[in-house]
Amino acid sequence: MINIHLYPSAFLNESRILREAGSLSQLALFDRIDLVGVGEEGLAPVEKLQDGICIVRPGQRKGSGLVGKLARTASWSRAVYHLYRKEELGCVNCHSVATLPLGVMLKRKTKAKLVYDAHELETETNNLSGMRKLLTRQVERRLIGHADHCIFVGSAIEQWYVREYGLHNTTVLYNCPSRRQVKPSDHFRTVFSIEPGTPIFLYQGYIGEGRGIRILVEAFSALAGRAALVVMGYGPLADWVAKEAQHLPGIHYHPAVAPERLLDYTAAADFGLSVIEPTSLSYEYCMPNKLFEYVMAGKPVLVSPTREQSEFVRRHAIGEVASGISPAAIREGVLSLLGRDPHALQAALTRTAGEFCWEGQEKTLEALYLDTLGLRSFQGTAKQPWEAKHDLCH
């Protein structure tokens, strides 16, 4: 029996899906797990990651604009449907609303279970507008009821979906890193020649609009000598940050690093930053991965007052919530955080890291799959995986 995960990307850095696939592989509920994405020039159409897990990339990214994207999605969906319609599928995972029509078709054809694993509030994202937003809303409203279970990245987003669609089978699965001890590092201080007494605040992740990047640069440029800002990652504003760093004291740009090395670099900062601008409902309700990464690395955080992350920080006493998202509010938050008791912050971070790690989320994932597949009392060898008819990985 096969489990497929549908997501229209090349699967170069999809940490959440890779974590889920790894955990499901350990449970031995399926013979094979395929991460089905989109082909790109230079990438293998089939890539084996480990025993039982591989990436399958049919087709390539082509077309732009609404019509081009619709045509591209339709072409990719047809290719994937024909690839799997005769396979023995046990569960189809849709990781975006764009894959939901394909998931429903495969469920009807193969009698597989269907899991909708939304990575954000899919119909209220920052880049959706006009006809595309209308079509996305219609697709989700009409098809979400076909899902046997829905997974969401945070409680606020889950509550929205429950209210909007009257869902019952839902689970929150936070995108937490695995539990580990992170060793201290002086990497940023050495690379950027930051004075030993100057605290380092780190923003890591996607460097684009809506992530407070311009606000952070302006805020920390007025804190030169009192605090340093390191912006690490990739995105459309990365070059802008790099140019600003050339003439603004206290501002530094660091390229993105491999996901498996991320926490080692996070350890080189003193504090973490997660400033989300509420430019969409999805951003207002978000629960960023970076927040859990800072916690695992033992870094107190400064966050913007968006709904769930601010409530999380206050409840666990792991940092400071800015009064707003202006440069002045960020500066005020920085100074307030610097005045907090470091021992109390570290004790709170240790407790929170123990609770919010992937090992804990893995138990939640196991329970929902056993329930969805009808294997509520799964015990070791009492339930054996089914034999797959074909193996694309060989």
Secondary structure (DSSP) of 248-314: STTEEEEE---GGGHHHHHTT-SEEEE----SSHHHHT---HHHHHHHHTT--EEE---HHHHHHHH
pLDDT digit string, tens, across residues 20-48:
999 999 989 999 999 999 988 889 999 99
Do 230 and 361 fall within a single domain? no
Q: Please calculate the CA angle 129-126-204 and round it to the nearest 5 degrees.
A: 160
Give residues with Cβ within 8 angstroms of 369, minimum separation 6: 24, 27, 29, 91, 375
Residue 359 has pLDDT above 90, yes or no: yes
Do 140 and 196 fall within a single domain? no
Residue 382 has pLDDT above 80, yes or no: no
Do 230 and 251 fall within a single domain? yes
Identify the CATH number of the domain in which residue 56 sits: 3.40.50.2000
Instruction: Give Cα separations from 305 to 205, 275, 302, 326, 386 (angstroms).
Output: 19, 8, 10, 11, 48
Give residues with Cβ within 8 angstroms of 394, minimum separation 6: none
How many CB atoms within 10 Å of residue 15? 15
Q: What is the pLDDT of residue 299?
A: 98
Do 266 and 376 fall within a single domain? no
Single-letter residue type at 330: I
Q: What is the pLDDT of residue 64?
A: 61
User: What is the pLDDT confidence band of residue 188, given thresholds at 50, 70 and 90?
Assistant: very high
Residue 390 has pLDDT above 60, yes or no: no
d(CA 148, CA 52) in angstroms, rounded, equals: 24
Do 134 and 257 fall within a single domain? no
Do 258 and 369 fall within a single domain? no
Do 197 and 290 fall within a single domain? yes
Domain count, the chain: 2
Which residue is listed with tokens 């209308």?
Answer: 134
Do 172 and 204 fall within a single domain? no
Do 202 and 101 fall within a single domain? no
Q: Please calculate the CA angle 119-206-229 and round it to the nearest 5 degrees.
A: 135
Q: Which residues pair with 170 in a beta bridge?
A: 150
Q: Let me know if residue 387 belongs to a domain.
A: no
Do 251 and 341 fall within a single domain? yes
Do 363 and 350 fall within a single domain? no
Q: Residue 142 is part of which domain span?
A: 2-176+357-382
Residue 378 has pLDDT above 80, yes or no: no
Do 128 and 233 fall within a single domain? no
Q: Let me know if residue 391 belongs to a domain.
A: no
Tokens encoding 177? 């890193």
Q: What are phi and psi of 286, to 5 degrees?
A: -70, 160
